[in-house]
Chain A
Amino acid sequence: MDAIQYISKRLLLMIPILFGISVLTFFISHTIPGDPARLILGPKADPVIIKELQEKMGLNDPVYVQYGRYVSGILQGDLGNSTYTQQAVVNDLKRYFPATLELTLFSMIITVLVGIPFGIISANKKDKIPDQITRFAALIGVAMPAFWLGIILLLFFYLQLGVLPGAGRLDTWVSPPAHITGMYTIDALLTGNWPVFQSAFIHLILPGITQAAVTIGMITRMTRSSMLEVLRSDYVRTAYAKGGSQNRVLYGHALQNGMMPILTLIGMTFGHSLGGSVLVESVFSWPGLGKYAVNAITYLDFPAVMGVTLLIAVLFIFVNLIIDIFYQVIDPRLKYE
């Protein structure tokens, strides 16, 4: 099987999964007690008007009719209207998701660039001082609550030193760049707008580090254990026997072989952060998916809840697909099975 066939097969396999997810979320959100119509109109509303709105929203139809309506809407790119923001859910997602995606990408880049080298050093210097320090730091990263670290960073870099901004995605006097991807740093680069890029970038730093702290800890530990395994193997000895330097052996032979579990973990954490980190987004007033989702749940905004869930599910599947393709590229033994 070649690459294109493999990918199309994987994409086809997504359809039943998505169907399952839509059924699941639809029914879960409909078994939660609470009446959206009453919620929109407030506690003092006239029962007649409530009844009318319930009728209009189709809340009295049988559940399968409501589901059928929902699915046919999805297929037309319509996720319904949010009962809370009064906007089309699709538009809401387009607005909030890029902010989360940008933050997640940024924190994942930090995670990979810091976590993997530290894990390698830690494994290579097993039980020596660099290993002890790295393991201790990783433990702190994993154990520390993200919001707490966020607040500490805010106190220090924003309030105390005043070198980094504390909230939002842009300085107030800067207007967002033209909407291309919705990620401000990337759109600013694409339109060549340097001042906006700068502003967007420095706003990413503190929330990015806060979100990365936990994942760095996890990736470091995973890299360490995976590399310890690989460094014992015979082909690593062969690489040294050929005259390879330590860096060449570590990064040219060992890392690639130890990459599988690391990639899996990266995929998991990436998919996870794409759902939005409510705590980090709250601390830094980051207008992302996490905050949107919490609002939707708080106000029993069914269409929004289902929209967010569906989006996260699709993203998770996509990330997994990409990780699987990475496996195939790295490991010739797997060649599109």
Chain B
Amino acid sequence: MLLNVENLSLSLKKDGSYLKILDDVSFQVEKGETLGIVGESGCGKSMTALSIMRLLPDKAKLEGKVNLEKKEITALSKKQLEKIRGNQISMIFQDPLTSLNPLHSVGKQIGEALYLHTELSKIERKQRVVHLLKEVGLPRADEIVNEYPHQLSGGMRQRVMIAIAMACNPRLLICDEPTTALDVTVQAQILDLMNKLKQMNDMGIIMITHDLGVVAEVCDRVIVMYAGKVVEQGMAEELFANPKHPYTIGLMQSIPKLGERKNQLGSIPGTVPSPKNMPLGCRFADRCNKAMDICRGKQPSTVEVGPNHTAACWLYEEKGVGRYDASRGERSEATFHH
């Protein structure tokens, strides 16, 4: 196992009080696997990624464990984290227009990762930078080294970002909506490139997106998040063929069909509850067309709904009682009361 995220919870301070942004998030990433994280805006995808990188805002309270191979990231010091970031875990961000330093040349920005994590000499670094630029499919690599971000198009800048991320052959690459800001043809090229690089380097990828098309194209496995919780998790094909959680089903139905113009996720009525007043029971209950009384009263636990396929929904609870997860002490007690 490459990455193991166990019972991750995150609280952030906003206007003087702590809000729970992530609640008990667990998942794994294997070597050579692409894990997709999908969900509506604000459900905590970026915060999950930043928690793994430990790049959270100042007053963040993080609970749970994140392990990269044998290393417990959640227990590392600042200095140790600096050695891991950009080296064993890299991250690509959504907006390539603002993610590069406008005042540094492309070569300098890629070279910095090499400078920080390798013993290469200045000349070797320069050679490696040119090599990386070619690897991410940029033409005129020798010239682009000396150019500045404002001289490049959005797609080219995202390739530069990928080159930075790939500079030190990371074990895990986290991509936070890497193609959202790009147009469709460039999007497809970038996704192809990432697939190619993954196979070459045998690394794991976490692909954050709210575009199910992207998921279908590149992901092996998917987790669906809703309001800071994982609601469903399974192999991509299984999940597409056989979605279980009403939220996932809603997501699938909201994919615009050919010739149809629709807002993404537009077909699920209602809005995500805010972290300030999270409902007591299932967080999706207010928008769910299959909601039952119990849904509003108590949180469902995570149960197996198929091979390698879990969901947190009361609809499947009876079948899953036997597999009840004892580590959820507080909630299991509440369940056993009735």
Give A contacts to B, CB under 8 Å.
Answer: 233-235, 237-246, 253, 256-257, 330-333
Given contacts A237-B99, A242-B113, A333-B148, 5 further A-B contacts (CB under 8 A): A241-B55, A241-B93, A242-B112, A243-B84, A244-B116
A237-B55, A332-B148, A333-B148 known; A243 vs B103 contact (CB < 8 Å): no
Q: Decide if B126 is an interface residue (CB 8 Å cutoff).
A: no
- B84-100: which residues lie under 8 A (CB-CB) from chain A? 84-87, 90-91, 93, 95, 98-100
A243:B98 contact, CB within 8 angstroms: no
B85:A238 contact, CB within 8 angstroms: no
Residue of B90, B98, B112 with most chain A CB atoms under a 10 A cut-off: B112
B98:A242 contact, CB within 8 angstroms: no
A243:B113 contact, CB within 8 angstroms: yes
Measured CB to CB, the closest approach of chain B to A281, in angstroms, equals 39
| A244 proximity list for chain B (CB < 8 A) | 82, 86, 112, 116
A257:B150 contact, CB within 8 angstroms: no
Closest to A236 in B: B101
A240:B85 contact, CB within 8 angstroms: yes
Measured CB to CB, the closest approach of chain B to A332, in angstroms, equals 4
A332:B150 contact, CB within 8 angstroms: yes
Complex: how many Å from CA A83 to CA B101?
58
Q: Decide if B102 is an interface residue (CB 8 Å cutoff).
A: yes
Count of B interface residues, CB-CB < 8 Å: 29
A238:B93 contact, CB within 8 angstroms: yes
A241-B91, A243-B84 known; A333 vs B102 contact (CB < 8 Å): yes
Closest to A125 in B: B58
Nearest 3 interchain pairs by C-beta: A243-B86, A242-B86, A234-B98
B103:A332 contact, CB within 8 angstroms: yes
Among A240, A241, A246, A253, contact of B101 (Cβ-Cβ < 8 Å):
A253
Closest to B174 in A: A241
Q: Decide if B8 is an interface residue (CB 8 Å cutoff).
A: no
Complex: how many Å from CA A288 to CA B116?
50
Complex: how many Å from CA A133 to CA B87?
37
Complex: how many Å from CA A233 to CA B100?
10
- B316-336: which residues lie under 8 A (CB-CB) from chain A? none
Residue of A238, A253, A257, A333 with most chain B CB atoms under a 10 A cut-off: A238
Closest to A332 in B: B148
| A239 proximity list for chain B (CB < 8 A) | 101, 112
Closest to B99 in A: A234
- B78-133: which residues lie under 8 A (CB-CB) from chain A? 78, 82-87, 90-91, 93, 95, 98-105, 112-113, 116-117
Complex: how many Å from CA A242 to CA B81?
11
Closest to A252 in B: B112
| A242 proximity list for chain B (CB < 8 A) | 85-86, 112-113, 116, 164
Among B82, B99, B148, B150, contact of A238 (Cβ-Cβ < 8 Å):
B99
| B101 proximity list for chain A (CB < 8 A) | 235, 238-239, 253, 257
B103:A233 contact, CB within 8 angstroms: no
Complex: how many Å from CA A233 to CA B112?
18
Q: Decide if B172 is an interface residue (CB 8 Å cutoff).
A: no
| A330 proximity list for chain B (CB < 8 A) | 103
Complex: how many Å from CA A333 to CA B99?
16
Closest to A235 in B: B101
Measured CB to CB, the closest approach of chain A to B131, in angstroms, equals 18
Complex: how many Å from CA A314 to CA B99?
41
A257-B102, A333-B148 known; A243 vs B93 contact (CB < 8 Å): no
A241:B90 contact, CB within 8 angstroms: yes
Complex: how many Å from CA A243 to CA B105?
18
